[in-house]
Structure 1
Amino acid sequence: MSSAVYHFGLYELDTDRRRLSRDGRQVLLEPQALALLCHLVEHRDRVVPTKELLGAMGCEPTDETALAGWLRATLYAVGDSDTRQQSIRTVGRQGYQFVAPTTVPSAAAPPASRIPAPTAGAEADHEVIRFSRSADGTRIAYATTGHGPPLVKTANWLTHLDLDRTTPMWKHWFDGLTRGRQLIRYDERGCGLSDWTVPHFALDDLIDDLDSVVDAVGLDRFPLLGVSQGGAVAVAYAARRPERVSHLILTSAYARGPQVRAQNDAERDAAEVDLNIARAGWRSQESSFLRYFASQFLADATPAEWDAFTAYQRQTTSPANGLRFLEEFARIDVSGVADQVSCPTLIVHARQDARVPVAQALELATLIPDSRLILLESRNHLFTADDPAWPTFLTHLYNFLSE
C-alpha cells in the first residue's frame, strides 16, 4: 500500500512517517497501536480479520490478548471507546473496520515543506525523524540530532527514536554525543519506528540498513560508533566499506555472540541457560525473568530502574521480534572479518561488564589492526548517567575523534 496522509475529523494520519496528529499536535501512540491504526485506515474499504491485524503489528497469530490492549489504546487515541465506535468498528467475530469519513489530500510522501532539509544549526535543539528504504524494501527510521561533523551510531538492542531522548537509560547518551557534532542514529529493522514485519535479521540485512541511512543523510565518510551488539555490525560495516568509515569506536562490544564463542560444555550450557531465561521473559512477560535480563545491562541500577528498563523494552518491539533478536545476536560472528578493518579503532569496555565479559574486548583489540583498548572501572554494560565511567568514556571518544 503506497503511503499517504489521511484526514478524518480533527485527525491527520501520516502512514509513511507513522505519525498521528490532532489539531496539528502529535498524538503519542506506541508502535503497535500505530501499526494497527495505519493498517485499518489503509484497508478501510473492508473488514480486516484479527489475524491479519496481528501480522501487521508484528505479533503472533494467536496473541489476541495483546491485540485487545493495542486496540483499546488506538480507540482512545482517536476519540472512540469500547462502546463509542465512530472511527473503528468491531464487526461481530469477523474483525474490525475503519468507518470514519476520510479524505486523502496526498497519495504520495508528505510535501517537501513538511520535512525541511537540514541546515547548519537548525537541528541543535530538536531532532528530525525521517525514513529510508533498505535494499529489500524494509522501512528504516533514522534521526539526526545536533549539528557539526557527523557521528553515526549503529542500532543496538533495543531502541525507539521517538522515546529514547526522554528515557533515563539513553537520554545522557544523546546529550553527550551531540557536543559539537551531528548524531545520526536509527531504529533496527523489527523495532522502534522501523518496519516490524520483516523476513529476516541477517548481518547482510543490517549492513544494508546502515547503508540506506547514511545514503539518505548524504554521508560519504564518517566516524562510526557501535554499542553492544551494534559493535559487531559496526565492525562488519567498517570491514566491507573501508572508504566510508574514518574512525571506529566500539563500546561494550563483541565479535562473537555467546553461543558462538562458547568453547566447552560448561560455557555452552551457560549460554543456553542465559538465552532460555531471556526467552522465558519475553514469551511470558514475567517480571522476574525480565528483571534478571535488565540487571545484566545495568548492573548497578536499582530494581525500580530495572523495571523501567523492562517497560521501555516492551514498547520497542513485539515479543516475537524480541525472541528473533535474541537468537540472531547469540549467533552473530564477525571475527573472520575484523582483521579487514583499516581505520583507526577505539575499543572501550567496562572491566566488570555483566553482559559481555571483558575478554570480548580483548579479542576485538587482538583482531582489529591499529586498535587501542581502554578499560574503565564499571560493572554496567550500558554506562549510566551517574556512572563515573561515563564522562571518562566521552573524553576518550572526543579525543580520539579529534586526532
Structure 2
Amino acid sequence: MMNQEIRFCTAADGTRIAYAIVGDGPPLVKAPNWLTHLEFEWNSPVWRHWWEELARDYTLIRFDQRGSGFSDRTVIEQSFDTWVGDLGAVVDDIGLDRFSLFGISQGGAIATTYIVRNPGRVDRLVLYGAYPRGEAKRGGTTPEEFEAVQTLTRAGWGRDDPTYRQMFTSRFMPGATTEQMAWFNDLQRVSTSGENAALVRATNAEIDVLPILGSVDVPTLVLHAQGDTQVPFEQGRQLASLIPGARFVGLDGSNHLLLASEPAWPVALAEIRAFLSGEPESRDVAPASHEVDVGAVTPVPADLTPREVEVLRLLAAGQTNRDIAAELFITTNTVANHVKNILSKTDSANRTEAAAFAARHGLN
C-alpha cells in the first residue's frame, strides 16, 4: 500500500490546515466534505478503495476541513467562504498552477465556487453525490426537525454509544455492512466535536451555488446514485443541467458513499479515469454494473434563471403553485411570476407545454 505524506499550511485567518499527498501523475485535488480525518480514513473499508485507485494514476491531494482531523479543531470562523479559501490555501502552498478538482457531497459546491472565483486554475471537474443547494434551501426538512437533529448532535456526538452518529451513517450508506457502519460511526467521532459537527451541518444547509453554475467553464463530469438517501438524485441532475456541457452519469444504488463492493463502483471509476484522461466517453462496462447513463443534459436556454429552472422542474413534476412555494420557501405570488416568465421564455401557451419543454431539456 502506498504511503501518504501529511503536510500543513496556513489559511488566510491563521487556521492550520492539514493536507495529504499520495501517488504520482497529474494533480487531482479533492475538496473537503462531511468530516474527514486524513489518517483514520486512509485505512478504512469505506474510503480506502477511492484513494488507492485514484492515486494509481494521479497525484492525489486531500485535506482535512477546518475543525476536523489534523487541521485546527478550534477555529475563528466556520463558513462556506472559509472552506473555499482553505482549498485555495492548500493548492497555493503546494504551488499548483493547474490541476483537476474532485468534489464529493458538499465538496461539489466548494469546487464549483473555487473555479468561478479562480478562472484558469482548474482543468477538469468531477462531482459525485454533490448538490447545488443545502438542506435548508431545497426544502424537505422542517426547521423543527433540523434543530432537533442539531440538539442531538451537540449532546451525543462524542459518546462511545454510536446511537447519535448512526442517524447520519444510516443515511450516508444504508447498504453498508456492520463493519463499514461501525467504522463510519468511529470516523465521525474521532474527526471532530459535536459542536463543530453541528456548525458544519448548519453551514452545509445554507449552501446555494445555483446562481454561479452557468459560469463554471471547465469540462465537468457529474455522477450520482439514483437512490441516494442523503442527497436526492435530482440534485445531481440539476448540477449537470446548469453547468455548461456537463456530462451526467446516473449510478445504480442507494449509498451516498460509494462502496467497493457495489456494482456501480467499477462504473464510476472507469468514467472518472476516462474523463480525467480526456479519453472518449466510456460505454463498455460490465452488464452486472447496471450503469444508468443519461448522457449529457441538453443546456437550458440562457435566459432562464436558476430559480426559474427550479420552478420549471417542479411544475413539470405536476406540483401546484402552492406546492412549489412551500418547497422553495417563497410566496405563491412569486411562484406565479416565475411561471409567467417561464411560459414567455419557453414560448409555451400553458403548463402542459412548459412541462413538455422541460422533458426535452432533461429537466423532468
Instruction: Tell me the TM-score normalized by structure 1.
Output: 0.66
Of 140, 143, 149 in structure 2, the residue corresponding to residue 277 of structure 1 is 149
Of 211, 214, 218 in structure 1, the residue corresponding to residue 91 of structure 2 is 214
- Check if 1:382 corresponds to 2:254: no
Partner SS, residue 37 of structure 2: coil
Query: Any idea what the Cα deviations from partners look like across 1:291-327, whole Å, max 9, x if unmatched?
Result: 1220111110134432321111100011111111111
Determine the C-alpha separation between the residues in 2 that align with 1:338 and 1:219.
Answer: 24
2:108–2:127 CA contact under 8 A, matched in 1: yes
Cα distance change, pair 152–330 in 1 and its aligned pair in 2 (3 A)? same
Q: RMSD across aligned C-alpha pairs, in angstroms?
A: 1.6
Of 125-134 and 283-292, deviating more is 283-292
Partner SS, residue 201 of structure 2: helix
Partner SS, residue 183 of structure 2: helix
| Offset of residue 163 of structure 1 | 1.4
Of 162, 178, 181 in structure 1, the residue corresponding to residue 55 of structure 2 is 178
Correspondence for 1:138: 15
Correspondence for 2:271: 396
Matches within 5 A, 1:35-114: none
Of 106, 114, 118 in structure 2, the residue corresponding to residue 237 of structure 1 is 114
2:153–2:195 CA contact under 8 A, matched in 1: no
Correspondence for 1:332: 207
Of 209, 231, 256 in structure 2, the residue corresponding to residue 356 of structure 1 is 231
- Check if 1:168 corresponds to 2:40: no
Query: Any idea what the Cα deviations from partners look like across 1:261-312, whole Å, max 9, x if unmatched?
Result: 11xxxx242x752563354144223533321220111110134432321111
Cα distance change, pair 293–395 in 1 and its aligned pair in 2 (3 A)? same
- Check if 1:249 corresponds to 2:121: no
1:282–1:290 CA contact under 8 A, matched in 2: no
Structure 1 or 2: more strand by fraction: 1
Correspondence for 2:30: 153
Q: Which amino acid aligns with 1:283?
A: A
The sequence identity of aligned pairs, in percent, is 43
Partner SS, residue 168 of structure 1: coil
- Check if 1:369 corresponds to 2:244: yes
Question: Any unmatched runs of 5+ in structure 1?
Answer: 1-123
Correspondence for 2:359: none
Determine the C-alpha separation between the residues in 2 that align with 1:345 and 1:209.
Answer: 22
- Answer with 1 or 2: which has the greater Rg: 1
Cα distance change, pair 380–279 in 1 and its aligned pair in 2 (3 A)? farther
Determine the C-alpha separation between the residues in 2 that align with 1:203 and 1:277.
Answer: 21
Q: Which amino acid aligns with 2:262?
A: D
Cα distance change, pair 380–248 in 1 and its aligned pair in 2 (3 A)? same
Determine the C-alpha separation between the residues in 1 that align with 2:186 and 2:147.
Answer: 19
Instruction: Tell me the TM-score normalized by structure 2.
Output: 0.73
1:281–1:287 CA contact under 8 A, matched in 2: no
Partner SS, residue 260 of structure 1: helix
| Offset of residue 367 of structure 1 | 1.5
Determine the C-alpha separation between the residues in 2 that align with 1:287 and 1:315.
Answer: 12
Q: Which amino acid aligns with 1:326?
A: R
Q: Which amino acid aligns with 1:128?
A: E
Q: Which amino acid aligns with 1:277?
A: V
Q: Which amino acid aligns with 2:156?
A: S
| Offset of residue 366 of structure 1 | 1.7
Question: Any unmatched runs of 5+ in structure 2?
Answer: 279-364
2:153–2:194 CA contact under 8 A, matched in 1: no
Determine the C-alpha separation between the residues in 1 that align with 2:147 and 2:51.
Answer: 30
| Offset of residue 176 of structure 1 | 1.3
Correspondence for 2:324: none
Query: Any idea what the Cα deviations from partners look like across 1:329-367, whole Å, max 9, x if unmatched?
Result: 111111111111000110000000010000101111121
Q: Which amino acid aligns with 1:284?
A: G
Query: Any idea what the Cα deviations from partners look like across 1:31-57, whole Å, max 9, x if unmatched?
Result: xxxxxxxxxxxxxxxxxxxxxxxxxxx
Q: Which amino acid aligns with 1:160?
A: H
Tell me the number of residue pairs that the alignment of Structure 1 and Structure 2 aligns: 275
